[in-house]
Amino acid sequence: MIYLDFAGKEVPANLKDESTFRSKHTGAELKSIEVDIVAEDQEAHERLLKSIEKGSINSTDGKGSVLSRWKVKNPSYSYTDAPGSHYYHSLELEETEELRVSSLTLGGFSLQPYSYEEKFDGDALIIEARVLLSETQYAELKKLMRAAELYFPVVRHGISEEPREMRFGKMLWSKHEDGIKHELLLVEKIYDEVKERHSAPLFEPEMSHIQDMTAQQEEILEELITALADKGLLRMEEINDIRARATRRTWEKRREFYRVDDIDTFL
């Protein structure tokens, strides 16, 4: 016997089957169960349906204390009016965890998110978080983003101390008086390994056209620099200086594509 909380009413359920599985998030052992519930009238039946539609249910000790939280899977019911009106519900329930991250360590760089969610795409972990950064922290984050290594270890303190090899996705940011709000979209390496084998090219044919136009603009600028040099209007050291300054500024200019007024209202 197990008690389930349906809209504030604790209802006894018959435990039919029970098994265990490992949490992808923490590695903890969780339960998966099957239960049967009898609703003896229309009102009780509708109360069960409303709670089931929410997708999650709490189990209790029958005295008001919550024991576990469950994800509802494959609900079904049947009806009989002899004797009386009874609705027989069958549910599969999967135990869930309350995930609370205390901090994230990204390649040795520690941050405290003020908003955090994580999910799995297949076996690949996807993290969506937001942080408020000082100018110093923002400089450190940009240094990590510009590093040659695509993947770096990520530790989710408070959830799991196991490091996972992840990379940055496309991330928005906004500047404020008290600091820089920055989105953290982190994608596990296995996601790329699977997608590389199975997915079609993204952003086509737009990407090919953008690449063609960018290459054309680059050639025009090279021809312009060459013409100015041939006419004696630019010295070679000046050309090298122009190219060096452009290279340094390109990454920062690209960051402006992801700037918004406020990431909290934009997302």
48-106 pLDDT, tens digit per residue, is 999 899 999 999 999 989 999 999 999 999 988 766 678 999 999 999 999 999 999 99
For the chain, give the number of residues: 267
61 phi and psi angles, rounded to 5 deg = -90, 5
pLDDT per position as a tens digit, 36-61: 999 988 888 988 999 899 999 999 99
Residue among 49, 55, 69, 92 at smallest CA distance from 4:
69
Q: How many CA atoms lie within 13 A of 243 on its CB side?
A: 12
pLDDT at 196: 65
CA distances (Å), origin 212, targets 191, 224, 249, 253: 29, 19, 22, 20
Proportion of the chain above pLDDT 90, given as a percent: 65
pLDDT at 108: 87
pTM of the model: 0.75
Band (pLDDT 50/70/90 cuts) for residue 250 is confident
As given in the structure block, the two tokens for residue 210 are: 């953008």
pLDDT at 203: 61
CA distances (Å), origin 95, targets 19, 73, 98, 151, 183: 11, 11, 10, 32, 30
Separation of CA 211 from chain center? 29
Band (pLDDT 50/70/90 cuts) for residue 198 is low
pLDDT per position as a tens digit, 108-155: 899 999 999 999 999 999 999 999 999 999 999 999 998 867 899 999
Q: State how far the Cα of 132 lies from the Cα of 267, in Å rounded to an integer.
A: 15
pLDDT at 267: 82
pLDDT at 191: 92
Helix (H, G, I), strand (E, B) or coil at 98: coil
137 phi and psi angles, rounded to 5 deg = -65, -40
Q: What is the dihedral of CA 200, 205, 211, 214, to 10 degrees?
A: -150
Band (pLDDT 50/70/90 cuts) for residue 201 is low
As given in the structure block, the two tokens for residue 38 are: 């009898």
pLDDT per position as a tens digit, 141-197: 999 998 867 899 999 999 999 999 999 999 999 999 999 999 999 999 999 888 765
pLDDT at 197: 58
